[in-house]
Chains A and B, each alone.
Chain A
Amino acid sequence: MPTKTYIQAIAEATIEEMERDQTVFTMGEDLRQSVYGATAGLVDRFGEDRVLDTPLSENGFFGAALGASLCGMRPIVETVTSFLWVGMDQLVSQGSKMRYMFGGQAELPVTFRVRMFYARGAAAHHSDRNYPVFMNTPGIKIICPSNAYDAKGLMKTAVRDNDVCLLFEDGIAISSRTEVPDNDELPDGELLVPFGVARTVQTGSDVTIVGIAGGVQHAIDAAKVLAAEGISVEVIDPRTLVPLDKESILKSVAKTGRLVIVDPAHKMCSAASEIAAIVAQEGFWDLQAPVQVVASEQINVPYSPALEPLIYPTPEKVIAAVRVVLD
């Protein structure tokens, strides 16, 4: 099976969906020159109308994408986590609310592809991992692929979904490779990954580690080290946070009795907080130790390479947390 990078997977999904459905188009800043790497060659293939370079107006073009989606189009919007703040009004006041507020009349099939840069010296204004903010915003689906396979399959599902989807592209995983089958290798001729279905990355019996986005790789790395000591780790990747496959997490915890959650977001009100709360409420009697959260420190992202790495989860922090739950 061929290996592909995460970004190639996103590019493939975009091309396939644009070919399949004429109402799909892409918009964002500097798409035609593929500044963020996923839109190279699109304009030659699909023309300028379907590959729109927008003015630098996030609030304006997020809203325009939503408005176009109300009238039968399926926009794919490219942006960056930190620029979501600029377009927050359209995303939240309109995108997340229109359907419910209008009694179910609106369909908003917009996919926002949101690049999540962090841990690369980009400082506080370009290092946001803000998906938990949108978990607290009813009406938005949240997709956090950790690898190329899921990135492609989830992206294609997002484009076909009739609700606002935010697909967070993990900046650390973005050039990582995984096996992604070509379409002719697949029984259905295409790769679709459903929302709300977690992936068990590896099975184990002593402890469950739930990883979110780039946190999955830390979990895998930690599990390798622990395996050498005879500790058997189960790694779960929820893949989508809204909807969240809590059953798979609860089932795993019922088996292992121990839970560590690895989340690149800041720890207060993070995705990890929510998962810990669910397990405390619904899986309490299965737990043999308090849940441990390995998330980013509750501090803004510092620039200096001497400081920045201190704030994020690392495999070492994950290993330490596993030792706590096994203690």
Chain B
Amino acid sequence: MALDKQQLEEMYRRMCRIRYFEEAVIEIHSSGELIGPAHPYIGEEAVAVGACAALRDSDRIAGNHRSHGHPIAKGGDVNRAMAEILGKSGGYCKGKGGSMHLADFSIGILGESGIVASSVPIATGAALAAKLSKQDFVSLVFFGDGASNQGACHESMNMAALWDLPVIFMCENNGYAITTSYKNSVSVDHVSDRASAYGMPGVLVDGQDAIAVHEATSEAVRRARAGEGPTLIEAMTYRYEDHSLGLDRIRKSEYRSQEEVDEAMKRDPLPIHREAMITHGFATEAECDAIEAEVHTEIDGAVEFARNSPFPEPGDLFDDMWATPV
């Protein structure tokens, strides 16, 4: 295995971080502290973590509305992420972005986006900058099966392949766009089948297995850095929770059967990774337990940090509009 103990443990740590973070968000939401929508990433942790484990800090990512897992996987700070979700001044965007717009430019997180597929051209442009300025960073964009049907996606894939841009298109196929199944909206068996239409490799990977996602992404990153162009990866995954917190009209089981949900939840990415580490002798049960306990403490701390962080002042309203003041 290309990954060592430290890397595998860090991956597990980040998967736990995302899981417990989202559980905390759900709890906070039910208490009424969180006003806007939030889209839980529970069940999909292995995709973001496997992908980001193949990246450097200088590499760029962009994401979508299901937006807490990507920055956490890239190494984002859970305190600032939680504070942002609560609209606090200590948040990543000083409370101006919220759940769907976490960003940390200092570690290559170019921001999450609420308009489905609108980050795909942005990440493509980041890769264009890498190519034109002859820097060796790559960019990776997370988008859903639903997003794969947007023109922005198709336009970007064409440009990226045409110009051999160092970008990885990471499709998180969780089976649904809100309630519309991908089988009812994607014209081919798999989103990754479309790659051949643009002349780039299309890779189908088990999105519940962080190690498999890491391996597929590593090859795509190698290609990108070598100037061989983009790759489309489709990670098959599953969303455990409702599409969005607060969207109570659309319960998770009304457009998909309970059996389907139960079946999918048997392949939980956290135990899959934990068992892989133990089976292959990279970590002991006790070490995994310790990681889980540490992350629980960390997330409790994030909630406390967020709650204690002050709201922005009315005087902050007009800040951050222009980079060159008018």
Contact = CB atoms under 8 A, between A and B. Distances in A.
B130 A71 contact: yes
A59 interface: yes
A60 B157 CA distance: 9
A104 B60 CA distance: 18
A63 B121 contact: yes
B324 A163 contact: yes
Contact of A103 (B92, B126, B137): B92
Contacts, number: 170
Interface string B93-131: 111110001011100001101110011111111111111
B158 A107 contact: no
Contact of A243 (B101, B113, B123, B326): B326
Interface in A93-113: 93-94, 98-109
Contacts of B110: 67, 70, 106
A89 B139 CA distance: 21
B155 A93 contact: no
B101 A102 contact: yes
B159 A54 contact: yes
B105 A102 contact: yes
Q: Which of B91, B101, B125, B132 has the most CB of A within 10 A?
A: B125
Contact of A70 (B93, B125, B324): B125
B265 interface: no
Contacts of A90: 118, 121-122, 152
B159 A57 contact: yes
Interface in A74-105: 89-90, 93-94, 98-105
B108 to A, nearest CB: 9
A131 interface: no
A196 B151 contact: no
Interface in B73-93: 91-93
Contacts of B2: none
Contacts of B118: 63, 89-90, 93-94
B286 interface: no
Nearest to A70: B110
Interface string B227-246: 00000000000000000000
Interface in A19-55: 23, 25, 49-50, 52, 54-55
Contacts of B254: none
Contacts of B162: 55
Contact of A68 (B104, B125, B319): B125
A68 B129 contact: yes
A318 to B, nearest CB: 29
A104 B319 contact: yes
A66 B115 CA distance: 15
B31 interface: no
Given A55-B159, A94-B119, A104-B94, 9 more contacts: A49-B132, A57-B158, A60-B158, A61-B155, A62-B121, A94-B121, A101-B96, A160-B324, A243-B326
5 contacts: A55-B159, A63-B120, A67-B125, A105-B105, A161-B324
